[in-house]
Amino acid sequence: MKIVVLKFGGTSVGTISKIKIVADIIAGYKRKKFSVIVVSSAMSGVTNELIKKSEAISGNFSDAEYDVLVSSGEQIACSLIAGRLIHLGYNARSWLAWQIPILTQGIHKNSRIYDINKKKIFNYLKKGGVPIITGFQGINENERVSTIGRGGSDASAILLAKFLKAQRCIIYTDVEGVYTTDPNKLSRARKIKEISYEEMLEMASLGAKVMQPVSIQDARLNRINIEVKSSFIKKPGTLITKRKNIINNKIITGISSTQNDSKVSLIGVKDKPGVAASIFKPLSKNSINVDMVVQNISANGKETDLTFTIKTEDLNKTKKIVKANKDIKFRKLLLKKNVSKISIIGVGMITTPGVTFRMFQTLAKNKINIQVISTSEIKISVLIDKKNTKKALIALHREFKLDD
């Protein structure tokens, strides 16, 4: 059996006319003799509307009922897709995750899929059926509906591809694939033909919105090749695969940037073992995600300056938490909005000397000051003033020959 998993995002099923296009795409794979498994997100905007309803009902809406509520969006989309395929003469039906079942573990609103019962779907495929499966959800050990986090339909598709041994997993969205940088910010951005799991994971975690990081990690761990392509334009997309499958002469594969970061600096912190943990523990308890962290020890070794970045919407909460923290002492607290993190990503930098110098020199030539630096094996990130974001993207895109 030649199985392909097709996942359609919210923008792909956002209107009735778009759902008709999706049905035609599915029919095209059936004509090519594929056994097709479809995974759908909710129609664009529906999940947000459902969340607003939960907030209007209660300021402390139950997490378990939240999952029941928001999972209904995918149910609507799947029913409409199945209905259109039946209209076209195909044997199709919608499947809710609990009917398969797709088994999850972990807390409500952020569960993880750990097993999928294959029998019912295999039998349905053998009869020529097209299962339209709700993404983003499963059923937990208490037989309650659970959801796997925003963007979780990608993870649903990837794990269905794993458990049912699909030949291909294709993520259909409103863009043609993964680009060297955000094409809305830079017109010279180029579509990437092939990208490694590691590079895509870095780009997603650093601001690229094509896929959620957890979904890419699932694909990487299970060695599932993913193609990202447009629902609306018939062109090849981007293949996300393992490094050894890629032939690439580029040192840098892509550049990402963030839009809503703020910088927090604690000056003159009394240095002692565990001080960093004392600073970050209450932030973690309040679900504040800390990103770039830089620590500078004073010459006498008694004080340290500690700088980190957070999302701007968490800035006021962070300020209150830090000031109320009795476990730390510091001389001054500095807060700065309107900063942006620019990151260059590429497995090529592992074996290529001078990449850091070229990045820093390019920014210096363009009179862009670097405030914080963070690195990994395949990534270099710097924090700059937000007003310089586009200028930095243009300069770095040209420097690393991504315009070509």
Whether pLDDT at 265 is above 70? yes
CA distance linking residue 22 with residue 9, whole number of Å? 10
Percent of the chain with pLDDT over 70: 99
> Mean pLDDT, to the nearest integer, of 105-117?
94
φ, ψ for residue 218, nearest 5 deg? -60, -45
Q: How far is CA 135 from CA 66, 118, 168, 238, in A?
A: 16, 16, 17, 22
> What architecture does CATH give domain 3-174?
3-Layer(aba) Sandwich (3.40)
Predicted local distance difference test score (pLDDT) of residue 207: 64
Predicted local distance difference test score (pLDDT) of residue 222: 87
Whether pLDDT at 105 is above 90? yes
| Listed residue (100, 84, 82) closest to 92, CA to CA | 82
pLDDT tens-digit series, residues 71-95: 999 999 999 999 999 999 999 999 9
pLDDT tens-digit series, residues 55-66: 999 999 999 999
Predicted local distance difference test score (pLDDT) of residue 130: 98
Predicted local distance difference test score (pLDDT) of residue 150: 74
Three-class secondary structure of residue 50 per DSSP:
helix
Query: What are the helix and strand counts (H, E) for the chain?
Result: 12, 19
> Mean pLDDT, to the nearest integer, of 201-216?
80
φ, ψ for residue 219, nearest 5 deg? -65, -40
pLDDT band of residue 323 (cuts 50, 70, 90) is very high
Predicted local distance difference test score (pLDDT) of residue 278: 93
Mean pLDDT of all residues in the chain?
Answer: 92
- Give the distance, in angstroms, between the CA of residue 27 and the centroid of all CA atoms in the same chain: 29
φ, ψ for residue 171, nearest 5 deg? -100, 110
Which helix or strand (DSSP H or E) is residue 36 part of?
A: strand 35-40
Q: How many CA atoms lie within 13 A of 229 on its CB side?
A: 18
pLDDT band of residue 351 (cuts 50, 70, 90) is confident
pLDDT band of residue 218 (cuts 50, 70, 90) is confident
Whether pLDDT at 370 is above 80? yes
